[in-house]
A and B are shown apart, each in its own frame.
Chain A
């Protein structure tokens, strides 16, 4: 591998890793609060991408207006999913809530196929956001810089929310102990809704940037990124925001490097994340930054 391709791979790894990190935060926050894999999180990426797509191409809105609208729509959808499909099952066995989450995910995917068509659509790349940068011997898209910067800004924002604001304190309290928090006059429902709103908003940003980076969108586009980002969240320690970020970067970088260093294994690229997941779960179930919780009777 020459130095140029190596640097190219680093650039790709950083942007993929930031995307994973961004989406993983949504998973980790929701899981931290209600202990549920929000399978529908993956499909929120798809919804955001299509909303932006239709905003730009059908309603001819400026790109930033349609991006903002897409984020708003996705956030509303995320909150509605919680209200309709998860809240009634909060006291039910966990298997029921999981099945409900899978059901929502399948509903969104198949509604997508029915309403939007299964055929992939080309996602528009506004010139103001995506251009080519030549630097020395390597050339890369502006996204390789924009995506990590946006990710970093949002990460700092989320960290501030979680650690410094009242809502954040309530979130941490709820994630520690649902019932005690509600006894301490924390409005649990409000906290859960806020969590879903933040998570869905991040998923929307992640989805839009994903589509800018890989400009082919289809109703099932969220499935694989979704699974991998959940894996990234587990890797970093579920419930921990910095952990999700570290996990996302390791996964993204690892995937790009695997293909870059060993091209003959590129067919196994999608398996890489799962192998990592299984190893993590077996040897360090708490993740890199997570705490190991022993179950009490």
Chain B
């Protein structure tokens, strides 16, 4: 069928190898600060991808992503912290005995973070996904708040408002970008599968999809749960990156940043979310300079804390009002496009004569 399939597979493998090489050299040559930013970018890429799956590909406007992140982050943190530091940190109320002596390695704990978040995804999705549009948005927002409030109040499990500290730290680019690339591959395979087609059919017209025999609720729940799973993974990675978490981190503000990534990249484009995830994370660090005191045109301008978020809010408004497609619309990066540009022709299909 496709004469260029071989070339495309080869190109994919070469790109992956190239990425591995970049990660390898990056790990040893970049400064700790740069690595940290790149790792953060990987987390935001995963968050953008998973929210895009729900919002962009399935058309469900969910605002509950920070809640699932919160679940994943706490699960991973509690599973990996050493018993000594647990004893030290839980001074308000000792931790429940079951969890006290658990000390898992980082990777199983990350997966577990995703799994627990996915369980929450099913629990939340089951009632919430009967709703649509704005009702779904406000209900998922409500669930995220409820999760946050529960985390704040179950002191013997989560240490309440004080949060958790001394979470084992994970610094290598391998861990973050490895999971990130794996996520990209899994989600790409997913949206090109029959499930993915069903998601897009639901997004484009729910009633028509149902009439065509797509089980709407099942696929919505599936998409929502997978989204929650990856949000949980990203949350777990977040707790290993910054090593201390507390419930206020996972406010609605967080979901807003992810939403910005999805909208900027284009709702319904994985490529867009990857690009926007990296761009927004780096811009977020770079824009810190506007919040510092500056010396401009011979005047001392005091730092303006919060200015970054004003810029991001304006950016979101401008995109949604004037460039609703975002960077990529629903287009994706693909090798056919590259090969066409390079002039590698498709061999002529042999017709039956």
**How far in angstroms is the closest Cβ of chain A from B222?**
20
Give the interface residue-count category, chain B.
35 or more
Contact A268 B149 (CB under 8 A): yes
Alpha-carbon separation in the docked complex, A295 to B135 (Å)? 14
* A102 contact set on B, CB distance < 8 A: 63, 256, 259, 316
**How far in angstroms is the closest Cβ of chain B from A285?**
7
Known contacts A85-B317, A95-B55; 7 additional CB pairs below 8 A are: A35-B134, A88-B321, A98-B137, A103-B320, A106-B316, A114-B306, A267-B152
Contact B143 A274 (CB under 8 A): yes
Is B338 close to A, CB under 8 A? no
* A268 contact set on B, CB distance < 8 A: 149-150, 153
Q: Which of B304-321 contact A (CB under 8 A)?
A: 304-307, 309-310, 312-314, 316-317, 320-321
**How far in angstroms is the closest Cβ of chain B from A254?**
15
Alpha-carbon separation in the docked complex, A260 to B314 (Å)? 42
Contact B150 A36 (CB under 8 A): no
Alpha-carbon separation in the docked complex, A188 to B139 (Å)? 30
Is B118 close to A, CB under 8 A? no
What number of A-B contacts does a CB cutoff of 8 Å give?
Answer: 112
Contact check: which of A37, A99, A106, A295 meets B309 at CB < 8 Å?
A: A106
Q: A94-B133, A94-B134, A114-B305 are in contact. Are A271 and B320 (CB under 8 A)?
A: no
Query: From B306, which residue of chain A is reached at the shortest CB distance?
Result: A113
Is A129 close to B, CB under 8 A? no
Query: From A296, which residue of chain B is reached at the shortest CB distance?
Result: B207
Alpha-carbon separation in the docked complex, A163 to B187 (Å)? 53
Contact A36 B134 (CB under 8 A): yes
Q: A36-B134, A88-B321, A96-B320 are in contact. Are A274 and B306 (CB under 8 A)?
A: no
Is A58 close to B, CB under 8 A? no
Q: Which of A263-288 contact B (CB under 8 A)?
A: 267-268, 270-271, 273-275, 277-278, 281-282, 285
Q: A36-B134, A103-B313, A285-B131 are in contact. Are A277 and B321 (CB under 8 A)?
A: no
Mask, B119-138, CB within 8 Å of A = 1, is 00000000110110111011
Contact B142 A100 (CB under 8 A): no
Alpha-carbon separation in the docked complex, A270 to B310 (Å)? 27
Q: A271-B145, A277-B139 are in contact. Are A95 and B61 (CB under 8 A)?
A: yes
Q: How many residues of A contact B (CB 8 A)?
A: 43
Contact A113 B256 (CB under 8 A): no
- A–B pairs, 16, beta carbons within 8 Å: A37-B138, A94-B133, A98-B61, A98-B137, A102-B256, A103-B316, A106-B256, A107-B313, A114-B304, A227-B142, A231-B142, A234-B138, A267-B153, A270-B149, A273-B142, A285-B135
Contact B316 A99 (CB under 8 A): yes
Alpha-carbon separation in the docked complex, A278 to B130 (Å)? 11
Is A111 close to B, CB under 8 A? yes
Contact check: which of A37, A89, A231, A285 meets B134 at CB < 8 Å?
A: A37
**How far in angstroms is the closest Cβ of chain B from A8?**
25
Alpha-carbon separation in the docked complex, A95 to B139 (Å)? 15
Contact B259 A95 (CB under 8 A): no
Is A92 close to B, CB under 8 A? yes
Mask, B309-350, CB within 8 Å of A = 1, is 110111011001100100000000000000000000000000
Is A262 close to B, CB under 8 A? no
Is B77 close to A, CB under 8 A? no
Q: Could you tell me which A residues sit within 8 Å of B by CB distance?
A: 31, 35-37, 85, 88-89, 92, 94-96, 98-100, 102-104, 106-107, 110-111, 113-114, 118, 223, 227, 230-231, 234, 267-268, 270-271, 273-275, 277-278, 281-282, 285, 295, 297
Contact A114 B127 (CB under 8 A): no
Contact A118 B61 (CB under 8 A): no
Is B79 close to A, CB under 8 A? no
Alpha-carbon separation in the docked complex, A24 to B222 (Å)? 34
Contact B259 A99 (CB under 8 A): yes
Q: A107-B317, A278-B127 are in contact. Are A95 and B59 (CB under 8 A)?
A: yes
Contact B320 A274 (CB under 8 A): no
Query: From B127, which residue of chain A is reached at the shortest CB distance?
Result: A282
Is B146 close to A, CB under 8 A? yes
* B309 contact set on A, CB distance < 8 A: 106, 110, 113
Is B233 close to A, CB under 8 A? no
Contact A106 B130 (CB under 8 A): no
Contact check: which of A103, A223, A227 meets B317 at CB < 8 Å?
A: A103
* B149 contact set on A, CB distance < 8 A: 267-268, 270-271
* A107 contact set on B, CB distance < 8 A: 310, 313-314, 317
* A113 contact set on B, CB distance < 8 A: 305-306, 309
**How far in angstroms is the closest Cβ of chain B from A231?**
8
Alpha-carbon separation in the docked complex, A267 to B263 (Å)? 35
Is B267 close to A, CB under 8 A? yes
Is B141 close to A, CB under 8 A? yes
* B145 contact set on A, CB distance < 8 A: 227, 270-271, 274
Alpha-carbon separation in the docked complex, A110 to B316 (Å)? 13
Contact B130 A282 (CB under 8 A): yes
Query: From B124, which residue of chain A is reached at the shortest CB distance?
Result: A278
**How far in angstroms is the closest Cβ of chain A from B140?**
10
* A297 contact set on B, CB distance < 8 A: 207
* B256 contact set on A, CB distance < 8 A: 102, 106
* A281 contact set on B, CB distance < 8 A: 131, 135, 139
Alpha-carbon separation in the docked complex, A19 to B40 (Å)? 42
* B305 contact set on A, CB distance < 8 A: 113-114, 118
Contact check: which of B150, B153, B259, B310 meets A111 at CB < 8 Å?
A: B310
* A234 contact set on B, CB distance < 8 A: 135, 138
Contact check: which of B134, B142, B207 meets A277 at CB < 8 Å?
A: B142
